[in-house]
Amino acid sequence: MSGQENPPSTIRFGAFEVDLQARELYRCGLRLKIEEKPFQILAALLERPGQLIARQELRQRLWNPGTYVDFDRNLNTAINKLRDTLGDSAENPRFVETLSRRGYRFIYPVEMAKDAPLPTAPEFEAISSIAVLPFENTTGDPEVDYLSDGITESLISNLSQLAGLRVMARSTVFRYRGRVVDPLTVGHALRVHAVLTGRLVLRDDTLLIGTELVSTDSGFRLWGEQYNRTPADIFEVQEEISREISERLRLHLTGEEKKRLTRRSTENAGAYRDYLKGRYCYFKMSEEGLGKSIGYFEDAIQKDPHYALAYSGLADTYGLYGFFGLLPPREVMPRARELSRIALSLDDGLAEAHASLASIKQSYEWDWVGAENGYLRALELSPNYATGHHLYADFLSSMGRSEEAMQEIHTAQELDPLSLVISMEVAWNWYMAREYQRCLEQSLRTLEIEPDFTPAQHTLGLAYVQLGKYTEAIEAFERARESSGGNRVTVAALGHAYAAAGEEREAAKALSELGKMARRSYVPPYWSAIVHAGLGHQDEGFDCLEKACEERDVWLVWLKAEPRFDSLRSGARFENLLRRISLVP
C-alpha cells in the first residue's frame, strides 16, 4: 500500500476507521483516544494486511537508531495498548495476530476508500442485559482500589433497580478484576447484550474516568465518554453514566426508575469515600477486614448521620460476626437489627437494608413471616439483587419449601453465574432438599472452578455421608478443615462423618477439639449437637440444641431441614425445640 501513488486517506475494518493523514482512529464515528506508538504499529500493520510485520521492522520504524530503550518490553506494551483500544485479545485475536518470536499480522479484512461517510452504529432493539466490568485503577496506587471498585459497585446497584434490565452481579464481574479481557469475549461468556468498561486515574485533586459501552451482538461501540472532575464530583459522574447507559440501551424507564438512578444516599463526598472503603474491607470476608470495615462505616456515619447505606453496611458487618461464629449472637445481632432499622427509617427504598433486616428476623428473632415479607420487599425494589435471591432461597429451604428454594437459587445463579458462593449454595439447597446425588454433582462442578473452595468441599462431604460413602466424606472434610485453618464448622462435620462411619473414637476427638476451641473463643453449640447426633447421644445432642436456643444460635434456622438431625427427630423433645423457634405451630 505504501507504494501506491495515491494511497487512500482512510482504511476501514469492521466498525473501525483509521484516518492516516489526521492520525486518528474512529469507532462507529466516534474518535478513540490512542497513543502515538500503538497508532504507528496499527498503521504499519495496515500497510500490508494479512502479511507478517517483523518485530525488527517495527523497531526500525518506531525507535530512532542509537536510542536506548528496552525494545521488547516497550513493543509488547504498545501492542497490548493497541489491542486494548480495539477490544482485541491475544488468545483469541480478531484483528492483530501474534506470530511467536517473529512479529504480528493484521488478520481482519480491510476496506480502503478516499471519501465516504464514517460508519455509524446500526439501529438496534432495546438491550435487556449488561455486565459492568470492574473499573481499572490506572493510578498505580492500590490504596485507590476502593474507589474504582466502589464506582463499579454503585453502577451495578443503580442499574439493578431497573426492572427491564438484567445486570450481572458483583461477584461474577469481579472475577475479571485485574485481568486484561476482551469485552466481547466476556459478554458472550456471560450471555449479556452489552458490556461497560471503565478506567480511573486519581491525581491530587483531579479524578479522570473513561468509559465505553459495547454491544456484544454487533461489536459496535454504543457510547463512550471521558470525565475530568474533582473527587467531590463523583456523584454527578455516576449519575451521568447511569443515565447515559439507560438511554443508550433504549430502556423505557418509569418516573420512579428515573428517580432511582439519580437518588443519592449522601451529599457528603468524605462520607461516601469512607463507605466505599468500608465495603472494600467487608468483601475481604476476613475477621481483620470486618474489623476495619466497622471503623470506616462508623466514620461515614459520623460525617453524615443520615447516611442510610452506611448504617446498612455496618449492620451487614455485625451480622457476619454472628454468622461466622466470631462473637455470640446476643452480642452482635441486636446491634445489627438496630442499624438495619435506622437505615430503613432513613430510606425505606433501600433493598439491601430490607434484606439485612429480613435475615435478622429469620436467624435471630425467628419471625418467619416478617423475614419472608422483608426478602420479597427487597426483591421488589431490586429484581436483579442476586444476594437477595440467594438469601430468600435459603429461607425457603430452611422452611422445607424445596421447589421454591431451587427456583430462587437458580435465579441468583443466572444473575451471578461465576459466583463460587452461589454455586455452592445450589449444592447446599439440593442437600437440604435431600437430593444428595445432585448435591454431589453441583459440589464437584464448583470445585472444578476453585479446587480449594472450602464451602464446596464441605457440601461435597455432606453428600458423601448421606450416600454412605464415608471414606470419601472424611477425605473431603479433612481437606475442608485444612484449607479453612481448622474452622469449627469443618471440625463438626468431620466428627459427624466419623460417627456415621462407626469410628466413635475419632468422632470423640472432634468433640474434644470443639470443646478446646470453646475455651478460647465462641463456638456455636449447634456444631457440638451435630456430632452428638451422629454418635447417637440424644440427651447430649438435645442439651446442646437447648443451649443454642438460649443463645439464639443463628444456625438453628436449619433445624427443621438438616438431615444430620434425623436421629433426634422422633419424640416430643425435638418437636418442642421446633415449636420454641416457631418452626411448627
Query: Cell 462473637 maps to which residue?
Result: 327
Are the C-beta atoms of 152 and 241 separated by less than 8 Å? no
- The radius of gyration of the chain from alpha carbons, rounded to an integer in Å, stands at 28
Q: What is the mean pLDDT of residues 417-432?
A: 93
Other residues' Cβ atoms within 10 Å of the Cβ of residue 424 = 24
Reduce the DSSP state of residue 86 to 3 states and report it: helix
pLDDT attached to residue 392: 97
Question: What is the percent of the chain with per-residue pLDDT over 90, rounded to a whole number?
Answer: 44
**Is 90 exceeded by the pLDDT of residue 423?**
yes
Cα-based torsion angle of the residue sequence 139, 143, 146, 151 in order, rounded to the nearest 10 degrees: -20
Q: What is the mean pLDDT of residues 55-62?
A: 83
**Is 50 exceeded by the pLDDT of residue 1?**
no
CA–CA–CA angle 334, 339, 342 (5° rounding): 130
Average pLDDT, the chain: 87
> CATH class for domain 10-113?
mainly alpha
Helical spans, DSSP H, in 68-182: 71-86, 145-160, 170-173
pLDDT top residue among 72 and 546:
546
pLDDT attached to residue 262: 67
Q: How confident is the model at residue 424 (pLDDT cuts 50, 70, 90)?
A: very high
| Tens digit of each residue's pLDDT (9 = 90 or more) over 163-193 | 788 899 888 898 888 887 788 888 888 999 9
Contacts of 492 (CB under 8 A, 6+ apart): 510, 514, 527, 528, 530, 531
Query: Cell 470443639 maps to which residue?
Result: 514
CA neighbor of 132 nearest in space, from 305, 374, 384: 384
Query: Cell 436483579 maps to which residue?
Result: 384
Are β-strands 136-137 and 194-203 bridged in parallel, bridged antiparallel, or unpaired? Answer: parallel
H or E stretch including 190?
helix 183-190
CATH of 267-383, one of 1.10.10.60, 3.90.420.10, 3.20.20.100, 1.25.40.10: 1.25.40.10
| Tens digit of each residue's pLDDT (9 = 90 or more) over 379-401 | 998 888 889 999 999 999 999 99
Q: What is the mean pLDDT of residues 478-507?
A: 93
pLDDT attached to residue 76: 86
Q: How confident is the model at residue 452 (pLDDT cuts 50, 70, 90)?
A: confident
End-to-end CA distance of the chain: 84
H or E stretch including 494?
helix 488-500
**Is 70 exceeded by the pLDDT of residue 3?**
no
Q: How far is CA 114 from CA 16, 19, 20, 23, 421, in A?
A: 15, 10, 11, 15, 55
Q: What is the DSSP string of 28-59?
A: TTEEEP--HHHHHHHHHHHHSTTSEEEHHHHH
Query: Cell 455496618 maps to which residue?
Result: 314
pLDDT attached to residue 64: 65
**Is 50 exceeded by the pLDDT of residue 458?**
yes
Q: What is the mean pLDDT of residues 270-275?
A: 88
Cα-based torsion angle of the residue sequence 322, 328, 334, 336 in order, rounded to the nearest 10 degrees: -30
Query: Cell 425505606 maps to which residue?
Result: 348
Are the C-beta atoms of 389 and 379 separated by less than 8 Å? yes
pLDDT attached to residue 5: 47
Q: How far, in Å, CA of 151 to CA of 191, rounded?
A: 23
Q: How confident is the model at residue 69 (pLDDT cuts 50, 70, 90)?
A: low
* Range ranked top by mean pLDDT from 54-58, 344-348, 567-571: 344-348
Domains 10-113 and 267-383 are alike in CATH topology: no
Q: How far, in Å, CA of 433 to CA of 426, rounded?
A: 11
| Tens digit of each residue's pLDDT (9 = 90 or more) over 207-248 | 888 888 888 887 777 887 878 888 878 888 888 888 888 877
**Is 60 exceeded by the pLDDT of residue 197?**
yes
Q: How far is CA 9 from CA 12, 17, 20, 115, in A?
A: 10, 10, 6, 8
Tell me if the pTM is above 0.85.
Answer: no
| Tens digit of each residue's pLDDT (9 = 90 or more) over 528-557 | 999 999 999 999 999 999 999 999 999 999
Q: How far is CA 93 from CA 44, 136, 158, 214, 435, in A?
A: 18, 22, 33, 17, 43
For the chain, give every domain's residue range: 10-113, 129-264, 267-383
Question: What are the grid coordinates assigned to 521, written together?
Answer: 473463643
Are the C-beta atoms of 114 and 8 separated by less than 8 Å? yes
Q: How far, in Å, CA of 456 to CA of 465, rounded?
A: 14
Contacts of 395 (CB under 8 A, 6+ apart): 358, 362, 368, 371, 372, 375, 405
Q: How far, in Å, CA of 44 to CA of 153, rounded?
A: 40
CA–CA–CA angle 130, 132, 134 (5° rounding): 160
- Determine the topology of domain 129-264 in CATH: Rossmann fold (3.40.50)
| Tens digit of each residue's pLDDT (9 = 90 or more) over 88-130 | 778 778 889 898 878 899 988 888 765 444 444 455 556 889 9
Q: How confident is the model at residue 2 (pLDDT cuts 50, 70, 90)?
A: very low
Q: What is the mean pLDDT of residues 410-436?
A: 93
Is the four-CA dihedral 311, 314, 320, 323 of positive or negative sign?
negative
pLDDT attached to residue 137: 85
Q: How far, in Å, CA of 3 to CA of 523, rounded?
A: 79
Q: How confident is the model at residue 377 (pLDDT cuts 50, 70, 90)?
A: very high
H or E stretch including 96?
strand 96-99
**Is 70 exceeded by the pLDDT of residue 72?**
yes
Residue 323 backbone zone (phi > 0: left; psi -120 to 50: alpha; other: beta): alpha
Question: What are the grid coordinates assigned to 211, written together?
Answer: 468509559
pLDDT attached to residue 225: 80
Q: How far, in Å, CA of 174 to CA of 132, rounded?
A: 9
Residue 49 backbone zone (phi > 0: left; psi -120 to 50: alpha; other: beta): beta
